[in-house]
Amino acid sequence: MATQRDRMDEMIQGKQVSHCSRPPARWRHELKGVLIRQMQIARRVRKLADEIERDFAGRDLVVVSLLNGTVMFLADLIRHLSLPMRLDFIGVSSYRDGTQSRELLLTKELRLEVRGRDVLVVDDILDTGKTLKCVLDKMRELKPRRIKVCVLLEKKDRRVEKVRADYVGFSIPDLFVVGYGLDFAERYRNLPFVGVLHPHYYQSS
């Protein structure tokens, strides 16, 4: 039986996921498999929201979400938050039509004032850490009271920057994943699960 510490470690570090199930017939020619099913996501997001509620209890929270991959994750996450909160978005572009990261470009600035406030940064995936580092550097210039980070997915094997997330949905291997907001060439965001794309789709780009 898992101890309370084991459950807390899972909550903070992210549930390990490495095995795929068969994708729906409609997607079998494009996806190798389903890495995280819809119900798994729903349960995990609810647990993350519970932890965030405990940590920010009694505070006026500002949620800052990165565009565009967070949209589905963000909507499900904040739906479970009952504490006072405000929502804003920041845009950082790094991935283009292919898989290679290019120079980071800030595409949308914050609208809300965050000085002296509690901020939760929400992102879809933490891999190299370059995008998150860029965002956190920008946020610290605005002098919030504190900053915490929540991500749906993380790939620890790809990390090159010394950044970490306080709340992690799932830790995954170095696979090219799409769905539940994550895209390839702006496709697949609408899938209700996280799937693994066939390599020939992105290797030919």
Section 185-204 average pLDDT? 92
In a domain, 22, yes or no: no
In a domain, 117, yes or no: yes
Range with the poorest average pLDDT among 94-108, 141-155, 163-177: 94-108
How confident is the model at residue 204, as a pLDDT? Answer: 67
How confident is the model at residue 105, as a pLDDT? Answer: 78
Contact predicate 185/205, CB 8 Å: yes
Q: Which of 6, 127, 174, 183 is catalytic?
A: 127
Contact predicate 124/101, CB 8 Å: no
In a domain, 5, yes or no: no
How confident is the model at residue 97, as a pLDDT? Answer: 47
- How many structural domains compose the chain? 1
The string over 37-49, giving b where at least 16 C-beta atoms fall within 10 Å of a residue's C-beta and e elsewhere, is eeebbeebbebbb
What's the per-residue H, E or C state across the chain? Answer: CCCHHHHHHHHHHCEECCCCECCCHHHCCCEEEEEECHHHHHHHHHHHHHHHHHHCCCCCEEEEEEECCCHHHHHHHHHCCCCCEEEEEEEEEEECCCCCEEEEEEEECCCCCCCCCEEEEEEEEECCCHHHHHHHHHHHHCCCCEEEEEEEEECHHHCCCCCCCCEEEEECCCCCEEECCECECCECCCCCCEEEECHHHHHCC
Range with the poorest average pLDDT among 74-78, 82-86, 92-96, 161-165: 92-96
How confident is the model at residue 107, as a pLDDT? Answer: 83
In a domain, 9, yes or no: no
pTM (predicted TM-score): 0.87
Give the integer Cα–Cα distance in Å for 160 and 151: 17
How confident is the model at residue 16, as a pLDDT? Answer: 79
pLDDT (tens digit, 9 = 90+) per residue, 5-20? 344 334 335 777 878 9
Section 112-129 average pLDDT? 97
Section 132-159 average pLDDT? 96
- Specify whether 127 is catalytic: yes
Give the integer Cα–Cα distance in Å for 119 and 143: 10
In a domain, 183, yes or no: no
pLDDT (tens digit, 9 = 90+) per residue, 157-179? 989 999 999 999 999 999 999 99
Q: Name the average pLDDT for the chain.
A: 89
CATH number of the domain encompassing residue 56: 3.40.50.2020
In a domain, 134, yes or no: yes
Range with the poorest average pLDDT among 11-25, 131-145, 173-187: 11-25
How confident is the model at residue 102, as a pLDDT? Answer: 62
Confidence of residue 78 (pLDDT cuts 50, 70, 90): very high
Domain that holds residue 158: 39-172
Q: What amino acid is encoded at 86 in this protein?
A: R
